Amino acid sequence: MTQTRSNSSKPAIISEEQQTNTHTNTYTESSETLAEKEPELMVKKRVPDWLNNSMLSSPAPVVSPPSKSRSQSPPPPSSSHHDLLGSYTSKSSSVYSYNSSTVIQPPVPIPPPTFIRPEPPTKPARTPRTDFRDPLTRISDSDNDISSSVEDASRQTNLIQALSRKIINMRELRRLASEGIPDGAGIRSTVWKLLLAYLPCDKALWSSELAKKRSQYNQFKEDFLMNPLLKVSVASQSEITRKLEDSASLQNGENTSAGKGLLPRSEIPHGEHPLSLGKTSVWNQFFQDTEIIDQIDRDVKRTHPDIDFFCGDSASSKANQDSLRNILIVYAKLNPGIRYVQGMNEILAPLFYVFKNDPDEDYSRNAEADTFFCFVELLSGIRDNFVQQLDNSVVGIRSTILKLSLLLKEHDEELWRHLDITTKVNPQFYAFRWITLLLTQEFIFTDSLHIWDTLLSDPEGPQETLLRVCCAMLILVRRRLLAGDFTANLKLLQSYPSTTNISHLLYVANKLRSHHHS
Amino acid sequence: MVLVLAIGDLHIPHRAPDLPAKFKSMLVPGKIQHIICTGNLCIKEVHDYLKSLCPSLHITRGEYDEDARYPETKTLTIGQFKLGLCHGHQVVPWGDLDSLAMLQRQLDVDILVSGHTHQFKAYKHEAGVVINPGSATGAYSSITYDVNPSFVLMDIDGLRVVVYVYELIDGEVKVDKIDFKKTSTATI
């Protein structure tokens, strides 16, 4: 399900145009795609004014309201390093200019520069190109904006400052987080843990909380991941040993000649045989669990096959996969109502990635336990999307999709009308995956991390923000959608151009909020 | 933990139309790792059905089997145990412990599974264990009409075997358990 863009490594805009052009064959859009890359050039007819105005902001130091001041720079010409990642080559550097900042370090827990200072664009981490497939080791352009790196640096300082307080101000943290968290120094890892209410606000309590939760997780693992047959045999062991002891004493009398005779039969407790179909039978549980475990296993192996962290041959990727598997199994066992549904692995992956790549040794080692609890927390908000029976209910995915539709109608009626009525693109065809998987499948991995920064910073749960981001996604490609028919639109929306400038997308989404009147 | 189904003497279609419904509902694919069948299925359809339960199927030839290619005896190793399989009509007197013990020594196995008498038995002697899973359909035998449908499921786990005996008595499935261990030096 990951988007694989097999591009050649030509970094220039032209290649991007060509590639995005394959999406919609009918419409000549060279100017259009350019426009999408450079928001300031977007001239959209009949687009709400505020949307239009914001486009006309100046390129480099973007003066937009405090947040989305990420890379609004014109895409730089060069980019030898764009061929870094096979499938991710097509990204324009403008998207990643924010990445230019301060810490580009391989997220493997190597002791990093702990504090980020506003660096000049010559990045120290230019060299480690070892892990090609690791998205965060992408090297950004140097010729990119000193301005944006300064901004990133300032954001980073702000965050570090916010985190260094004794009692963390959650509101401020959320505000800062929604602007985007820089990629280094384990900030994201800590911030996400705070946002997901895993770590308490009071820093003094952190160590005790962490110890408690981690031991709890280990207890869960022991309970659930132990071979269930051992439980059966352990339970029956007592009976057997008793009988053996009894019969041994008897046998010793009989056993004189040859130890012959009929073997003693024993009754078994109700239904405890391997073919039992009873719901309470340990065996039946075991077989049912095996099915789920098989499915979890299959999905884990398919998670992000292009990222080395998850899907490589090294021992560490195997260990990572094992951790993912364990978390999902424990979750399935703890939640018999929902068990495991395909897609949960996609929600889990970014969490684990971020936590595991925390430069702090202790955090990295315990990433599995931490991820488990954060996963539970995150899923608790969106679990209704995974329950099939709730699909048609008020809390189910259908109604959420309907909300998205209404949101689009409110902000851009023309587009809504065109999509829903004229071309009859049922939002379920594209929005289902967007919503249930929190946009992890629509953009490349690092981009989705940035989107998640914003999603998780919403105090009321990610859904509201998610809908706004989805709406923004639709609005950003409105020109193409308006020009396309059913097939073209569906194709576009089901493989949403991952070259989208994420900060711009989030900016638009944010704008939708201020114009939202309900 | 290997589940091995020992079943046999179905005599379908000559003496019985099918397995009892209650047995059939319990025998679902995916749970059992091996099936050893004493013989007298008798037709290919039964073979296919058993194959659908589990791809690892071992059969020996009973005197009424229509497929003449099944071997007379078979041995296989599962876990720490050597199992021997034979229909049993070749061993005279039928069902006699000493004669079966001779066969067991001949095959050099820990557990001998044989049938033909259509009666469930689990014997122990110094050379090992003999298990007769009985007739899964309750077909009449050469000796008697009074046959309860039965089969056996063995759970082999290291040096320990738990034998679950499934019998259909008065329309109800009764399950009993027999447990034995193999000491590493000597057989049971």
User: Given phi > 0 = left and psi -120 to 50 = alpha, else beta, which region is A261?
Assistant: left
For A230, nearest residue in chain B (alpha carbons): B1
A113-140 as b/e, with b when 16 or more CB fall inside 10 Å?
A: eeebeebebebebeeeeebebbbbbbbb
In this complex, which of A233, A268, A277 lies closest to B25 when CB atoms are compared? A277
Closest approach of B69 to chain A, Cα-based (Å): 31
Q: Give the separation between CA A262 and CA A185, rounded to whole angstroms.
A: 71
Q: Give the separation between CA A277 and CA A180, rounded to whole angstroms.
A: 52
Omega of the bond leading into B93 within 30 degrees of 0 (cis): yes
* Residue B181, CA atoms < 13 Å, CB-side half-sphere: 9
Interface of B with A (CB under 8 A): 1, 3, 25-28, 30-31, 97, 121-126, 129, 153, 155, 157, 162-166, 175-180, 188
CB-based contact A125:A104 (threshold 8 Å): yes
Contact residues on chain B for A286, CB-CB shorter than 8 A: none
Q: Give the separation between CA B163 and CA B3, rounded to whole angstroms.
A: 10
pLDDT band at B153; cut points 50, 70, 90: very high
Query: Are A259 and B25 within 8 A, CB to CB?
Result: no
pTM score of the predicted model: 0.61
Contact residues on chain B for A264, CB-CB shorter than 8 A: 178
Contacts of A2 by beta carbon, 8 Å cutoff, 6+ apart: A87, A304, A305, A306, A441
Closest approach of B179 to chain A, Cα-based (Å): 7
Query: Are B1 and A229 within 8 A, CB to CB?
Result: yes
Describe the strand order of the beta sheet including B128-133 as a list of residue ranges: A261-262, B120-125, B128-133, B111-114, B81-86, B73-78
Alpha carbon of residue A312 to chain centroid: 19
B76-107 as b/e, with b when 16 or more CB fall inside 10 Å?
A: eebbebbbbbbbbbbbeebbebeebbebbeeb
A265 part of contact set with chain B, CB < 8 Å: yes
pLDDT for res B50 = 92
CB-based contact B40:B63 (threshold 8 Å): yes
Residue showing tokens 């709400």: A48
Closest approach of A295 to chain B, Cα-based (Å): 14
CB-based contact B9:B40 (threshold 8 Å): yes
- pLDDT, greater one: B136 or A41: B136
Task: Tell me whether 0.85 is exceeded by the ipTM.
Answer: no
pLDDT for res A114 = 40
Element (H, E) at A402: helix A397-411
Q: Give the separation between CA A214 and CA A219, rounded to whole angstroms.
A: 9
pLDDT for res A382 = 81
CB-based contact B180:B81 (threshold 8 Å): no
Number of residues in chain A? 518
Both tokens of A343, joined, read 């897609």
pLDDT for res A149 = 65
What value does the CA radius of gyration of chain A take, rounded to a whole number of Å? 27
DSSP string, A140-172: --SSS-HHHHHHHHHHHHHHHHHHHSSB--HHH
Query: Are B3 and A274 within 8 A, CB to CB?
Result: yes
Give me the amino acid identity at A517.
H
Q: Give the separation between CA B41 and CA B61, rounded to whole angstroms.
A: 9
Both tokens of A441, joined, read 């499948």
Q: Give the separation between CA A197 and CA A199, rounded to whole angstroms.
A: 5
Q: Which of A164, A175, A179 lies closest to A114 in space, CA to CA?
A: A164
Q: Give the separation between CA A152 and CA A144, rounded to whole angstroms.
A: 12
Residue A224, classified by CB atoms within 10 Å of its CB into exposed (0-12), middle (13-18) or buried (19+), is middle
Structure letter (DSSP) for residue B166: E
Query: Are A266 and B176 within 8 A, CB to CB?
Result: yes
pLDDT band at B21; cut points 50, 70, 90: very high
Query: Are A244 and B179 within 8 A, CB to CB?
Result: yes
Q: Give the separation between CA A189 and CA A456, rounded to whole angstroms.
A: 12
User: Given phi > 0 = left and psi -120 to 50 = alpha, else beta, which region is B40?
Assistant: left
Alpha carbon of residue A88 to chain centroid: 17
CB atoms within 10 A of CB A206: 16
CB-based contact B131:B122 (threshold 8 Å): yes
CB-based contact A465:A156 (threshold 8 Å): no
Both tokens of A146, joined, read 């000193």
- In angstroms, the Cα distances linking A229 to A237, A273, A284, A466, A517 are 11, 11, 11, 43, 58
> What angle, rounded to 10 degrees, do the helices at A502-514 and A462-476 form?
110
Alpha carbon of residue A383 to chain centroid: 15
pLDDT for res A63 = 38
Number of residues in chain B? 188
Contact residues on chain B for A271, CB-CB shorter than 8 A: 175
Contact residues on chain B for A263, CB-CB shorter than 8 A: 122-124, 129, 163, 178, 180
Alpha carbon of residue A430 to chain centroid: 18
Query: Are A265 and B165 within 8 A, CB to CB?
Result: yes
Q: Which of A29, A10, A13, A12 lies closest to A21 in space, CA to CA?
A: A29
- In angstroms, the Cα distances linking A214 to A217, A352, A363, A367 are 5, 15, 11, 9
pLDDT in tens, A58-102: 333 333 343 333 433 333 333 333 333 333 433 333 333 343 333
Query: Are B125 and A258 within 8 A, CB to CB?
Result: yes
Contact residues on chain A for B175, CB-CB shorter than 8 A: 268, 271, 273
Q: Give the separation between CA A174 and CA A184, rounded to whole angstroms.
A: 18
pLDDT values of chain A reduced to their tens digit, one per residue, 518 residues: 444 444 444 444 444 444 444 444 444 444 444 444 444 444 444 445 544 444 433 333 333 343 333 433 333 333 333 333 333 433 333 333 343 333 433 444 444 444 434 434 333 333 333 333 444 444 444 444 455 566 667 777 777 777 777 777 788 888 877 777 777 767 888 888 888 888 888 888 888 888 888 888 888 888 777 654 555 555 444 444 444 444 444 444 333 334 677 888 887 776 677 887 777 777 787 888 888 888 888 988 888 888 888 887 788 888 888 888 888 888 888 888 888 888 888 888 888 888 888 888 888 888 888 888 888 888 888 877 787 777 777 777 888 888 888 888 888 888 888 888 888 888 888 888 888 888 888 888 888 888 888 888 887 778 888 888 888 888 888 888 888 888 888 888 888 887 778 888 888 888 877 665 44
Query: Are A266 and B122 within 8 A, CB to CB?
Result: no
DSSP string, B78-135: ETTEEEEEE-STTSSSTT-HHHHHHHHHHHT-SEEEE-SS-SEEEEEETTEEEEEE--
3-state DSSP of A406-460 = HHHHHHCHHHHHHHHHHCCCCCHHHHHHHHHCCCCCCCCHHHHHHHHHHHHCCCC
Query: Are B164 and A244 within 8 A, CB to CB?
Result: no
Structure letter (DSSP) for residue A126: G
In this complex, which of B31, B121, B122 lies closest to A275 when CB atoms are compared? B31
pLDDT in tens, B30-61: 889 999 999 998 899 999 999 999 999 999 99
Q: Give the separation between CA A212 and CA A180, rounded to whole angstroms.
A: 30
**Alpha helix ranges (H) inside A48-145:** 49-55, 93-96
pLDDT for res A226 = 62
- In angstroms, the Cα distances linking A283 to A157, A271, A419, A430 are 56, 9, 51, 41
pLDDT in tens, B106-131: 999 999 999 999 999 898 888 789 99
